Amino acid sequence: MTTAHLEAERADIAAACHQLAASGLVLGSAGNVSVRTGDHIAITASGARLADIGLEQIVVVDVDGALVGGDFAPTSELQLHLDIYRHHPQTGAVVHTHAPKCTAVACVLDELPVLHYQQLTLGGATKVAPFHPFGTRELADAVSTALAGRSAALMANHGAVTHGPTLDLAVEYTLLLEWACAVYLDARALGTPRILSADQQSAVIDTALRLRYGRPQSLSKEP
């Protein structure tokens, strides 16, 4: 197999990396992105600069991490990606960044509380995985634990990781998490943030379901 078999997925990853860099969420080679298709995973190569990454720097591995396409070694965080896919069968993409607001919060808190209802999209309060050196089994295990029931986690003194059924959603979750961290930091600078209670969060979920929040709703009467 060659990387050409996942050319569309690799092109999507390159575009996502460029978007993340343009948004100020990645710097240099810090960060990695992957997409799963069947038994293969397209993933950024180790040392690739995400702002200008090309398709040749996005390699293909199997679900055990063996390189099956490409001329570069995969990211050092490969195990992190493999574990997320293993624990979340419906996940189609993983995004890891050193986004500045996320990283700042991950240097202080053990959990990002729910200040705004949009955080419920990520599964509620965002756990902070304990610090372990990058690329280690210990870090992958800690992040997997923090992601239980959630689409996002912070990594102590390191960064953030999100996952979703599609790459577009995984990137959207990364942007949302960075925004939520910025809101927390701004609120904390003004005083003591008001955290949404469990009852308030449940009420939001009930309302969102009733109003089909976040879904396009056509007003056309045509069948």
Positions annotated as catalytic residues are 77
Q: What is the DSSP letter of 130?
A: P
Strands (E), the chain: 32-37, 40-44, 58-62, 67-69, 93-97, 111-112, 126-129, 152-155, 159-164
Q: Residue 114's closest CA among 192, 173, 193?
A: 193
Q: How far apart are the first and last CA of the chain?
A: 46
| CA distance to 8, 92, 138, 188, per residue, from 126 (Å) | 32, 20, 19, 17
The Cα angle at residue 155 between residues 184 and 114, in degrees rounded to 5:
30
State the DSSP H helix or E strand holding residue 206, giving kind and residue range, or none if neither.
helix 198-211
User: What pairing do the DSSP bridges indicate for beta strands 126-129 and 111-112?
Assistant: antiparallel
What's the CA gap between 8 and 21, in Å, rounded? 20
